[in-house]
Amino acid sequence: MTSASPATVAPRPGRSRGRLSGGLRAAPYVFIAPFVALFVVFLVLPIVIAVYKSFFAVQRSGLGFGGGEEAFVGLDNYVQAFGNSEFLRSFGRVLLFGAVQVPVMLLIALALALLFDSAMVRGKKFFQLSVFLPYAVPSVVAALIWGFLYQPKVSPIVELLRGMGVDPQFLAPGTVMWSLVNVVIWSVTGVNMIIIFSSLQTVPREMYEAARIDGANELRLALQIKVPMIMPAVLLTTLFSIIGTLQLFNEPMTLRSITSNISGSYTPNMAIYQTTTLGGNLNLGSAMAVLLGIATMVLSIVLSAASNRKKGGAR
Amino acid sequence: MASGNKKRLFAAAATVGVLSLAVTACSGGGDGGSGSGSDGEPVTLEFWGWVPGLEDTVAEWNAANPDIQIDFFRMTGDDGDKIPAAIDAGTAPDIVQMSSHSLPGHIVNDRLTDITEYAGDLEDQFTPSSWGTVVFDSAVYAVPQDSGPSGLLYRTDLFQQYGIDVPTTWDEYLDAARALHAADPDVYIAQFSPNEAGFWIQSVWQNSGSWYGIDGDSWQVTVNDDASMAVADVWQTLLDEDLVKVVEMWTPEYWAEVNDGTIATINYGAWFPALLKESAADLSGQWGIAPTPTFSGSDAAGESGGSVNVVPRGTEHVEQAVEFISWLNASEEGTTHLIDGGVFPSAYVGQENSNLLVEDEYFGGAVANQTFADAAATVPDSWVDGPTFDLTQDALKDAFAQVANGRLTFAEALDQVQAKTVKDLKDMGLEVRE
C-alpha cells in the first residue's frame, strides 16, 4: 500500500512531467518578481549608489561658478563625517533618547497588554482601540498637536498647571528632549501593546490553570508565567524601537518649527538632511547615511546576540 | 447628462474668458506680440512658479504670443526641492521661480543659465538692491520678481496711549522700547525669534552689510563684520534689558502674542502685512506704518530678499524664456498681475503702479505700499548671497537659540557662524578670503 500511494498521485503530472514541472518551478519566481523588482530598485540600488557616491566628492576651485568635477576621494567623506562633532553628538543624543524612551514605552505597553489580557478590564475593545489610535496619527501631525500643547500662550495644559502654581517649560533647552520623548511614547505605545497582546493570546491557557491550582494569584501569574512566555515578542519590539530611535526625524523636525532649542542636526537623520538638502553635498550625506546604516546594523546584531544568549542561558 | 452640460458650460466660459483676455491684451497695446522662436517655429516653455493668479497671467500672455506658449505649473509645498534633481536629470522646466538667496548654491552646481546676453539691459528697470541679488561676478543669472523692502509696522493705539513718539532711528527705537516696557511690563517693542533669520538679514542689509562677498576669484565671508556687529549691538541691548519678547516666529504662540498686544512693532518686509492681516484680523485699524528706523548717517531701509525667475541649464530657448520673464517682471501688464497676486514687485514700473499704491484700511487708511516703495529706493545694493546660504541660515538659527537661552552673546554667535560658513565653503573646495 505504501509503495502504491505515490503511484496513484503521480499519473497526472507524469504525462507531461517536463513542461509542467518546469512551469511549476518558475511559478514562485514569477510571484516574487514584483517584490524583488521593487526591492532592488528602491532599496538595494539606492544603497549601492549611496555607498558608491560616498567615495566621491565634487572638486571645485575659485568661486566655483560653472560647477565642478566629481572625483574619487577614498574615505575622505568618512573622515569628514567623523570629524563633524555635531553629527557625532546627534548619535549620543538619540542614544540617550532611546535609553529613556524605549524602556518607558515598553513598560507601559507591557503593562497595558497584561491588563487587557487579565480579563479585569471592562470595555476592553474600546480601550484597546483608544490606546492604539495614536499610532494611526501621522508622526508630523502628532508633533504638531503636541507642539500646540507645549506652547504656553495657547496650551490648555500649561494653563491648568499654572492654575496649580506650576510653570512648566516644555520647550526649554533642558526639557525639550523629554517633551519629544513624550510625543514618541504617545505615538508608538499602542502598536507595541498590540504586538505584545497578540503574543499573549498564543500562550496556552492550561498553563494559567495549572498555575492557579498551584496557588498563584493574578500578579504572580503575570510576572512569572506570562512575561517569560512573551519575552521574544518584547525583544522584537525592543529591537524595532531602537531602530526607530536611531531613525528619528519627523517629530524633532516638526517641533523645530516651534522651538530653536532643537538644532538643525539634532538627530543623525536631521544632520544628513542638513548636509544633503540644505548643503547640497550628496557625497558627504551618503557617507553619513552609510554610517547611520552601519550603526543601526551593529546595534541590531549586538541586541539580537545578547537576547539569544539570554534565551540559551534560561533553558 | 447634467454633468455633460456642466462640462460644456465650463468649456464655453473658459473660451469666453480666454478670448476676452486676448482682447484686453491686444487693446492694452502690449509689445508682447513681437516674440517668436528664433527659427520662426512656435515654442512651448514650461514655467514653475507660485505667485497667486499666475494662471491668468500666463493665459493672457499665451493669447497674445502664439509663438511663445507658456505651460504653467503651480509649485506648492516642497516642490522647490525637486528643482536640483530635475535640472541634473535634464528634465527641468524652462523657467523657475526661486528665492534670490538660493541662486549661488545653484550656480556652483552649474544648474543655471547665464542670461546676461538677453537680460543684461534690464538693469535700469529694477531697484539696485534687487538687481544686485541676481548678478554674480558680472554675470546675470536671473530676473528679479518680487522683493521685501522693510517698513516699521507699529501699534498706533499703544504708542498713543503711552505718549511715545514713533522712533526714526535705532537709538530712538531703544528709548521707545524702554519707555513702552516701563509703561506696561506686558508690552515689548518687538519679539526676538531665533528661527526667523529674515529680520537679521534685513538689518544687516540695511546697514550696507552682507554675509558674503566676491573678491576676484574668492568668496569673502563677512557674517561678523562691522556692519553686522552694529546690528548685534542693538539686539544685545534689547535682549539684555529685557525689552523684547522671545518667541519663535509663525507659531500659534507668536500670533497669540501679536493679538494680545504684547508686541508693539514689527519691522519687516513688504510681503508681511498680508500675513499679519490674515492672522491678526481683529487688530485692523490699530496698526500704523512708518519708515524703518535708520542707522546713523544713512537713510537706507532694509530688505530681506525676494524671489527671482531663472532659466535652468539645458533650456533650449533661452531668448524666448527671458522674453517672457522680462514681460512678467518688468512690464506694466506683467507687474499688474504680480500685484494682483499679492506680491511687491521689484521693478520700478510695478512700484509706481496705481494698483499697488492703494489706501489700506488695516493701516488706518494709509497707503502702506507707498512706504515700502519709498524704502525700496533706498535699500543698499550691498547684499551678496553665497553658495552655503541655507547652511549659514541654519547655523544662525541654532546660534541665536543659544543667544535666547543666554549661553552666547550676539557677537559670539556671529563669530561661530562666521567660522562655520568659512569651513562649509572650504569643504566645498571653494576659495575663501576672511
- Reported as a single tens digit per residue, the pLDDT across B316-372 is 999 999 999 999 999 999 999 999 999 999 999 999 999 999 999 999 999 999 999
As a whole number, mean pLDDT of residues A300-310 equals: 81
Closest residue in A to B112 (Cα) is: A66
> Does the structure show a pLDDT above 60 at A18?
no
Positive or negative CA dihedral for A253, B202, B399, A281?
positive
Residues A45, A48, A51, A57: what is their CA dihedral angle, to the nearest 10 degrees?
Answer: -70
Bridge pairing between strands B307-310 and B95-99:
antiparallel
Give the closest residue to B190 by CA, choosing from B253, B264, B289: B264
Contact (Cβ atoms closer than 8 angstroms) between residue B150 and residue B358: no
Alpha carbons within 13 angstroms on the beta-carbon side of residue A192 total 30
Confidence of residue A216 (pLDDT cuts 50, 70, 90): confident
| Longest alpha-carbon distance in chain B | 73
Whole-number pLDDT of residue A21? 66
Percent of chain B with pLDDT over 90: 85
Whole-number pLDDT of residue A308? 77
Closest residue in B to A151 (Cα) is: B253
> Does the structure show a pLDDT above 90 at A251?
yes
> Does the structure show a pLDDT above 70 at B18?
no
Bridge pairing between strands B265-269 and B135-136:
unpaired
Chain B within 8 Å of A49 (Cβ-Cβ)? no
At B288, phi and psi to the nearest 5? -120, 170
Chain A within 8 Å of B433 (Cβ-Cβ)? no
> Does the structure show a pLDDT above 70 at B155?
yes
Contacts of A303 (CB under 8 A, 6+ apart): A235, A238, A239, A242
Report how far residue A50's alpha carbon sits from residue A54's, in angstroms, rounded to the nearest whole number. Answer: 6
Interchain proximity A62–B217, CB inside 8 Å: yes
Confidence of residue A232 (pLDDT cuts 50, 70, 90): confident
**pLDDT 10s digits, B207-240:** 999 999 999 999 999 999 999 999 999 999 999 9
Lowest mean pLDDT among A286-290, B80-84, B138-142, B314-318: B80-84
Confidence of residue B252 (pLDDT cuts 50, 70, 90): very high
Closest residue in B to A69 (Cα) is: B109
Interchain proximity B248–A257, CB inside 8 Å: yes
- A-interface mutation test, from B220, B262, B421, B430, most A Cβ less than 10 A away: B430
Single-letter amino acid, residue B240: D
Chain B within 8 Å of A284 (Cβ-Cβ)? yes
Closest Cα in chain B, distance from residue A241 (Å): 28
Whole-number pLDDT of residue B9? 42
Whole-number pLDDT of residue B53? 92
As a whole number, mean pLDDT of residues A242-269 equals: 94
Helix (H, G, I), strand (E, B) or coil at B287: strand
B18 or A41, greater pLDDT: A41
Whole-number pLDDT of residue B102? 93
> C-alpha B397: how far from its chain's center?
19
Contact (Cβ atoms closer than 8 angstroms) between residue A169 and residue A157: no
DSSP state of B294: B
> Does the structure show a pLDDT above 50 at B6?
no
Whole-number pLDDT of residue A128? 86
**pLDDT 10s digits, A150-191:** 998 889 999 999 999 988 999 999 999 999 999 999 999 999
Closest residue in B to A76 (Cα) is: B427
In order, the DSSP letters of B236-250 are HHHHHTT-EEE--TT
Q: What is the 3-state secondary structure (H, E, C) of A60-80?
A: CCCCCCCCCEEEECCCHHHHH
**pLDDT 10s digits, B409-433:** 999 999 999 999 999 999 888 999 8
Chain B within 8 Å of A61 (Cβ-Cβ)? yes
Mean pLDDT, all residues of chain B: 90
Contact (Cβ atoms closer than 8 angstroms) between residue B95 and residue B47: yes
> Does the structure show a pLDDT above 90 at A122?
no
Whole-number pLDDT of residue B293? 98
As a whole number, mean pLDDT of residues A45-63 equals: 94
Confidence of residue B163 (pLDDT cuts 50, 70, 90): very high
Contacts of B331 (CB under 8 A, 6+ apart): B30, B31, B32, B349
Q: Classify the complex by whether its ipTM is higher than 0.90, answering yes or no.
A: no
Rg (CA), chain A: 27
Whole-number pLDDT of residue B313? 93
Rg (CA), chain B: 23
Global pTM reads: 0.86
**pLDDT 10s digits, A59-94:** 998 999 877 889 999 999 999 999 999 999 999 999
Give the closest residue to B168 by CA, choosing from B156, B179, B152: B152
Single-letter amino acid, residue A271: A
> Does the structure show a pLDDT above 60 at A139?
yes
In order, the DSSP letters of B138-192 are TEE--EEEE--BEEEEEEHHHHHHTT-PPPSBHHHHHHHHHHHHHH-TT-BSEEE
Confidence of residue B1 (pLDDT cuts 50, 70, 90): very low
Helix (H, G, I), strand (E, B) or coil at A81: helix
Confidence of residue A312 (pLDDT cuts 50, 70, 90): low
- A-interface mutation test, from B79, B253, B392, B417, most A Cβ less than 10 A away: B253
Closest residue in B to A154 (Cα) is: B253
Using a CB-CB cut-off of 8 Å, the residues of chain A touching B214 are 63
Report how far residue A135's alpha carbon sits from residue A173's, in angstroms, rounded to the nearest whole number. Answer: 27
Confidence of residue A23 (pLDDT cuts 50, 70, 90): confident
- A-interface mutation test, from B398, B402, B416, B423, most A Cβ less than 10 A away: B398
Q: Residue B98, Cβ neighbours under 10 Å: how many? A: 23
Q: Which residues of B208-235 are buried (b: 16+ CB within 10 A; e: fewer)?
A: bbbbbbbeeebbbbbbbbebbbbbbebb
Contact (Cβ atoms closer than 8 angstroms) between residue B138 and residue B119: no
At which residue does the C-alpha cell 498713543 appear? B160
Whole-number pLDDT of residue B55? 95
